Chain A
Amino acid sequence: MRRQLRWYGASPLHLLALLACFCLAGYAAARLVSSHPVAVVVWFLGAVIGHDLLLMPLYSLADRSAMAAVRHREPQLPATPWINYVRVPAALSGLLLLVWFPLILRLQSPYHASTTLSANPYVWHWLAVTGALFLLSAVAFAVRLRRQSRTAPPPEPPTAVPDGADPDRETEPPADTVLTQADPGGGEQPAVQEDHGPALVAGEAAAGGAVSGLGQGESRPGPQQEAAGEDQGPPRQIQHQPAAQQHEAGPGDEAR
Chain B
Amino acid sequence: MTDDEKPGTHRPSLARRAAETIRRHRGGMPGPFRRSFWRSPIRGPWLTSVLGLVLLAGVSVVFVTGLLSYAAYNPDLARINDTTPGKGLLGFYLFSWPTHPVWLYRVNQGLHVTLGLVLIPILLAKLWSVLPKLFQWPPLRSPAHVLERLSLLLLVGGAVFEFVTGVLNIQQWYKFPGSFYTLHFYGAWVFVAGLVVHVGLKSRTVIRALRSRGLIRELRVGTARTQPESPDASELVSPAPAAPTISRRGALAFAGAGSLLLLALSIGQSLGGPLRRTALLAPHGQDLGTGPNDFQINQTAAEVGVSTAETGLSWRLTLDHVGGTGHLPLRLSRAELLAMEQHTAYLPIACVEGWSTDNQAWTGVRLRDLARLAGVSHPASVLVESLQRGGTFRHGVLSAGQIMDPDSLLALRVNGADLSLDHGYPARVIVPANPGVHNTKWVASLTFAS
Chain A interface (Cβ within 8 Å of chain B)?
Answer: 5-10, 14-15, 17-18, 20-22, 24-25, 27-29, 31-32, 34-36, 39-40, 42-45, 47-48, 50-52, 55-56, 81, 83-84, 88, 91-92, 95-96, 98-100, 102-104, 107-108, 110-111, 113-118, 121-122, 125-126, 128-129, 175-186, 189, 192-193, 195-197, 200-201, 204, 244, 247-248, 250-252, 254-256
Contact = CB atoms under 8 A, between A and B. Distances in A.
B182 A178 contact: no
Interface stretch (B256-264, B316-324, B405-413, B434-442): B256-264
Interface in B238-254: 238-246, 250-251, 254
B228 A251 contact: yes
18 contacts: A8-B143, A14-B201, A20-B197, A21-B151, A31-B86, A32-B183, A43-B176, A44-B157, A44-B187, A96-B262, A115-B296, A180-B38, A180-B39, A181-B37, A181-B39, A186-B240, A201-B224, A251-B229
B41 interface: yes
A92 B246 CA distance: 16
Interface in B165-204: 167-168, 171-173, 176-179, 182-183, 186-187, 189-190, 192-194, 196-197, 200-201
Contact of B37 (A88, A91, A184): A184
A103 B171 contact: yes
Interface string B20-57: 00000000000100101111111000000000000000
B33 to A, nearest CB: 13
Contact of B258 (A14, A92, A201): A92
Contacts of B340: none
A222 to B, nearest CB: 26
Given A25-B190, A50-B160, A81-B223, A114 B239 contact: no
Given A95-B121, A115-B300, A177-B39, 8 more contacts: A8-B144, A9-B144, A28-B186, A96-B281, A98-B120, A100-B171, A176-B243, A252-B227
Contacts of A100: 171, 281
Interface string B127-152: 11001001000000111110110110
Contacts, number: 304
Contact of A31 (B13, B124, B182, B243): B182
Given A21-B151, A103-B283, A121-B286, A96 B2 contact: no
Q: How large is the interface on B (under 10, 10 to 19, 20 to 34, 35 or more residues)?
A: 35 or more
Contact of B284 (A48, A117, A248): A117
Given A83-B245, A92-B258, A254-B230, A115 B297 contact: yes
Most chain-A Cβ atoms within 10 A of its Cβ — which of B4, B154, B245?
B245
Contacts of B326: none
A244 to B, nearest CB: 8
A10 B144 contact: yes
Interface of B: 1-4, 9, 13, 31, 34, 36-42, 84, 86-90, 117, 120-121, 124, 127-128, 131, 134, 141-145, 147-148, 150-151, 153-154, 156-161, 164, 167-168, 171-173, 176-179, 182-183, 186-187, 189-190, 192-194, 196-197, 200-201, 222-225, 227-231, 237-246, 250-251, 254, 257-258, 261-262, 265, 280-281, 283-284, 286, 288, 296-300, 302-303, 422
Nearest to A184: B36
Contacts of A180: 37-40
A114 B243 contact: no
Given A99-B117, A180-B38, A192-B242, A21 B194 contact: yes
Contacts of B178: 35-36, 39-40
The majority secondary structure among interface residues of chain A is helix
A143 B179 CA distance: 51
B144 A15 contact: yes
Contact of B257 (A36, A55, A88, A184): A88
A21 B13 CA distance: 28
A81 B245 contact: yes
B65 to A, nearest CB: 18
A99 B262 contact: yes
